[in-house]
């Protein structure tokens, strides 16, 4: 039973977009690994940009600096 966990930042991703990701990941596992869709589980977790960090700062702060031309 495949289980795929996808984490993305919460930025207005639509229900339709997330459904497409789930559908296409499921199709890929079926096509490439012969995994049956009815046994494939996909979880999308959306994380606020204040809770996602890299380069020593939150994504929110990093993007703010980038918008101000400070990166």
Give, for 7, the enclosing helix (H) or strand (E). strand 3-9
Catalytic, 2? Answer yes
The total number of residues shown for the chain amounts to 71
**Bridge partners, residue 7, by sequence:** 45
Tokens of 19: 């459904």
Looking at 2, 4, 44, 49, which residue is catalytic?
Answer: 2
Q: Which residues are catalytic?
A: 2
């Amino acid at each position: 039973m495949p289980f795929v966990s996808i984490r993305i930042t919460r930025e207005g991703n639509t229900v339709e977009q997330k459904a497409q990701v789930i559908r296409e990941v499921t199709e890929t596992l079926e096509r490439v690994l012969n995994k049956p869709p009815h046994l494939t589980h996909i979880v999308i977790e959306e994380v606020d940009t204040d809770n996602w960090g890299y380069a020593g700062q939150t994504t929110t702060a990093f993007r703010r600096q980038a918008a101000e031309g400070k990166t």
